[in-house]
Structure 1
Amino acid sequence: MRKVIYALILPLVVVCGFVFANCEIKNETSKKTASKLLTAAEAKAERKKWEASPDGIQYKKWETSPEGKKVLASAAKIRSHISYSANMEAIITSLSLPPGSRLGFGVMAGINDDYYILSFGLEKSNEFQQLRSLKANGKITIRSNFVSYAPKYDYPIVSVDYVEQDGKIIYKRAPRKDGC
């Protein structure tokens, strides 16, 4: 009887040992990846390296071009609203994005006499159903916490978190599921 009990307990102990060892290995790898953050000097060196690459040179040329300066100035105009996630009044100018864009679902809008791409994210099932009811020249109120730009686009890209029309919320970005 004792031999049977020992025969059952021994594999259990071995399996538990493997499970705990695997947990420790996962914790060690996550600590290693977390410690891979670059110092300021390393980040500066990487940035210099990128600026010397063909993509970096092309970006610098775009940044100093009239089109690039216009896009950067437009982004700077709404930066204070973005940083405080304040309400911005927008007028829908087009229900489609520029040709060749790969931003997912979005519209073109005018804010403070400048034009912007309002990006809502990749299209999912019914997430943007109410946004599809927007009409050209319609007024909406938006909130965002991020504006970006790219040489490919002639307008700054505003990632919209909240849309309201006539006092009614028609879109609110769902919080991320991974907690970050």
Structure 2
Amino acid sequence: MKKIIYWLIIILVVVSGLLFANGKIKNEVSKKASSKPLTAAERASEMKRWEASPDGVKYKKWEMSPQGKKVFAGVAKIRRQVKDYTNMQAIVTSLSLPPGSKLGFGMMVKINGDDYILSFGPENSDRNLKLNNQFKQLHNLKVNDKIILKSHGVSVAPKYAYPIVSGDFVAQDGKIIYKHIPRKGGC
């Protein structure tokens, strides 16, 4: 009888410890998830702190350099078309990205006389076979092919000498060869 009571007490202690620990973890997660967005003053303070950091100083220096100014001028040229999600005519200038790039699958294109990186993201995506088929159609493009593209975003990075256009839609000769498939259940 003493052994049974002893084992019941041990089981009770272990179970209550697990329940207590689990409740504590849930409370920590809910506190993090319910954090308020930063106010304008807090954002400005964080931005000033970042600009004073070594990475911020390096970025500001690049932004003011001739290369950075050229990249931002390229962004300004297509900003309206990206904002309105309208067609942009492009010519494929290279089927590979600059050496050392970590943007996934992409190519170099010329839009309105300026060079851009056209990035489609990781090619080894297992989330959808249809996505891989669309990448196969993009692999069939050749240098000097004319395409129509649409994008929801253009970005910059000091690592690259060109603006980075995210490829959301590509057509060639009136035929859609790529259309971005949004993720399900997420952002």
Q: 1:31-88 deviations in whole A, cap 9, x for unaligned?
A: 6423232111111111100000010001000000000000000001100000011010
Report the number of matched residues.
164
In the alignment, what sits opposite 1:135?
142
- Percent identity, please: 66
1:179 aligns with 2:186: yes
Q: 1:170 aligns with which of 160, 177, 186?
A: 177
Name the CA shift for 1:32/1:134 in 2 (closer, same or farther; >3 Å).
same
In the alignment, what sits opposite 2:99?
99
Distance in 1, Cα, partners of 2:174 & 2:83: 23
* Structure 2 spans left out of the alignment, 5+ residues: 1-18, 126-131
Q: Which amino acid aligns with 1:171?
A: Y
- TM-score between both structures, scaled by the size of structure 1: 0.83
* Structure 1 spans left out of the alignment, 5+ residues: 1-17
Distance in 1, Cα, partners of 2:144 & 2:27: 54
Q: Which amino acid aligns with 2:55?
A: D
Distance in 2, Cα, partners of 1:85 & 1:108: 20
In the alignment, what sits opposite 2:120?
120
Alignment of 1:9-20 (within 5 A): none
Distance in 2, Cα, partners of 1:97 & 1:134: 14
Distance in 1, Cα, partners of 2:39 & 2:29: 20
Q: Which piece of structure 1 moves more, 123-132 or 68-77?
A: 123-132
In the alignment, what sits opposite 2:42?
42
1:62 aligns with 2:69: no
Residue aligned with 1:100, SS: coil
Aligned-pair RMSD on alpha carbons? 2.3
Distance in 1, Cα, partners of 2:108 & 2:186: 30
Q: 1:121-145 deviations in whole A, cap 9, x for unaligned?
A: 1012624111000000000000001
Residue aligned with 1:130, SS: helix
Residue aligned with 2:81, SS: helix
In the alignment, what sits opposite 1:161?
168
Residue aligned with 1:47, SS: helix
**Distance apart, 1:176 and its partner CA:** 1.3
Q: Which amino acid aligns with 1:51?
A: E
- TM-score between both structures, scaled by the size of structure 2: 0.80
Distance in 1, Cα, partners of 2:84 & 2:62: 28
Name the CA shift for 1:27/1:163 in 2 (closer, same or farther; >3 Å).
farther
